[in-house]
Amino acid sequence: MNYPDKIDLHMHTTVSDGTDTPEELLIRVRKANLDAFSVTDHDAIRSSEIIQNRLRTDDPLFIPGSEFSCKDERGKYHILGYAYDLKAQPIRHLVMKCHERRMTKVWDRLDALEKVYGIVFPEEEIMKLLSRNNPGKPHMANLMVKYGYSETKEIAIEQFIDKLPVKSRYIRPEEAIRAILESGGIPVLAHPSYGSGSQMIIGKEMEDRLIRLMEYGLQGIEAYYSQFTEVLVKELVELAGKYSLYVTAGSDYHGKNKVNELGVTLLGSVSDGPQGLRNFLEKVIEISAERKDI
C-alpha cells in the first residue's frame, strides 16, 4: 500500500470534550485533505458510529476509535482502541461501564465543589451537563468560568477540580485492552510519555511501562503526537521497533477546547519511523477486508 502522508488518528468531538460535532469534524477532515483519520472520544463509540454512517466513497480511510481513561497502582494511562467491531458486546459493555462511572464522578464533583468551595450552578446548567454523552472536567470548568468562579478553564481544573476530595473512578488498563482485543480491535497507548498531570515518563520507566502493558495485550504506541518533542518521538519510535509495536500518529484535536491543530502530529519528524505506522494501517485494512465495516 502507499504510505499516507497526512493522517490524524486522535481527535475528539462533542460526544466527549471536543467542540466540533462529529458531522462538523468530518467536514474539517475533508477540508484538511487527510489520507486517514480516526475519532477517539473518551470512553465512547457514538462518534465513530455517526461518522461511519456519513462517509462518502471519496472520503479518506476512516478507523473507528475510542480513548479510555485507565488507572492502576502504578499510574494513569489513556488506552486508544482502533478498528474494533462497533457492534461487539465487549466494547459496548466497556463504554457503558465507563459512562456509569463518569456520571457518578460528575455528581461527586458537583457535591464537592459546593461543600469545599461553595460553588453552585443553576439547576438548568446541571441538567444540560448531565444530558451530555460524556461530561467531564472541561465542561465543569467552563461553567466555573461562565459564572465567575474562575478566570480560565485551566485554572478551574488545576486549582479547583483536581484538588477536590473525590474518589477515583477508573477502569484498569488491562480491562480496556482486553475489551478492545475481544472486539477485534487494536489497543494502543496514547501519548505514552505523558503520565498524570505534568509527569514525564522516559527511559527505563517508559520501557518498563510498555513491557507491562504488552503483557496485557497492548499492540501499539502513539509515537507521533502533536505536543511531543522530536527527542520523545525518536525514543518512542525506537521502542516500537525494538518490541515490534504498531505506531500511530495523532493531534489530540479538541476544537476550541485545546490549542492542538487538526492534522498536526509531528509525523515525519523522525525519518526512520513510518514502518510501524505502515504495519498498523496494513493491519487495519486487513481487518476491514475480513469484516467489511471500516
Kind of pairing between the strands at 220-225 and 7-8: unpaired
Is residue 182 situated within a structural domain?
A: yes
Q: In terms of domains, do 150 and 194 share one?
A: no
Comparing 107-111, 206-210, 266-270, which segment has the lowest mean pLDDT? Answer: 266-270
Q: Could you read off the pLDDT of 123-181 as tens digits, one per residue?
A: 999 999 988 878 888 889 999 999 999 999 999 999 999 999 988 778 999 999 999 99
Q: For position 271, what pLDDT does the model report?
A: 64
Alpha-carbon span 24 to 154, nearest angstrom: 25
Element (H, E) at 37: strand 36-37
Torsion of Cα atoms, 3 then 281 then 275 then 4, to 10°: 20
3-class SS of residue 78: strand
Tell me whether residue 235 is in a domain: yes
CA distance 169 to 104: 8
Do 89 and 116 lie in a common domain?
Answer: no
pLDDT band of 268, cuts 50, 70, 90: confident
Residue 250 makes CB contacts below 8 A (sequence gap 6+) with 8, 9, 10, 11, 38, 40, 80, 190, 191, 222, 224, 225, 226, 265
Work out the pLDDT band at 293, boundaries 50, 70, 90: low
Domain termination residue (choose one: 163, 187, 203): 163
Greater model confidence, 138 or 109: 109
* Cell numbers linked to 104: 457518578
Nearest to 240 by CA among 288, 186, 279, 286: 279
Shared domain check, 197 and 66: yes
Q: Has residue 172 been placed in a domain?
A: no
Cell of 91: 466494547
Q: Are residues 146 and 264 in the same domain?
A: no
Residue 157's CATH number: 1.10.150
pLDDT tens digits, residue range 28-71?
999 999 999 999 999 999 999 999 999 999 999 999 999 999 99
Asked, for residue 171, whether it belongs to a domain, the answer is no
Tell me, yes or no, whether 2 lies in a domain. no
Q: What is the pLDDT of residue 1?
A: 47
List the one residue out of 198, 168, 209 whose CA is nearest residue 79: 209
Query: Within this chain, do residues 139 and 283 fall inside the same structural domain, yes or no?
Result: no
Q: How many domains does the chain have?
A: 2
Do 141 and 279 have their domain in common? no
Are both 188 and 43 inside the same structural domain?
A: yes
Q: Strands 75-82 and 65-72: what pairing?
A: antiparallel
d(CA 233, CA 193): 9
Per-residue confidence at 24, pLDDT binned at 50, 70, 90?
A: very high
E strand or H helix that includes residue 203: helix 203-216
Q: Is residue 47 part of a domain?
A: yes
User: What is the band of 110 on the pLDDT scale with cuts at 50, 70, 90?
Assistant: very high
Same domain, 90 and 184: yes
Question: Could you give the CA distance from residue 99 to residue 153 in angstroms, rounded to a whole number?
Answer: 23
The confidence score (pLDDT) of residue 251 equals 97
Reported as a pLDDT band with limits 50, 70 and 90, residue 196 is confident
The pLDDT value given to residue 148: 96
Answer yes or no: do 198 and 267 share one domain.
yes
Cross-strand pairs, 72: 75
Residue where one domain finishes, among candidates 163, 185, 200: 163
- Residue 170 maps to a domain: no
Asked whether the beta carbons of 218 and 210 are under 8 A apart, the reply is yes
Residue whose C-alpha is closest to residue 79's, from 190, 170, 171, 182? 190
Domain that holds residue 116: 101-163
Mean pLDDT of the chain: 92
What is d(CA 279, CA 216) in angstroms, rounded to the nearest whole number?
20
109 shares its domain with 85:
no
More reliable by pLDDT, 282 or 132: 282
d(CA 176, CA 178): 5
Mean pLDDT of 246-256: 95
Q: Which helix (H) or strand (E) holds 211?
A: helix 203-216
183 three-state secondary structure = coil
Percent of the chain with pLDDT over 70: 96
Read off the pLDDT of residues 204-241 as tens digits, 9 standing for 90 and up: 999 999 999 999 999 999 999 999 999 999 999 999 99
Query: What is the mean predicted confidence (pLDDT) over 81-89?
Result: 97
Q: Are residues 51 and 79 in the same domain?
A: yes
In a domain, 33, yes or no: yes
What is residue 11's three-state secondary structure? strand
Q: Are residues 88 and 219 in the same domain?
A: yes
CATH of the domain at 264: 3.20.20.140
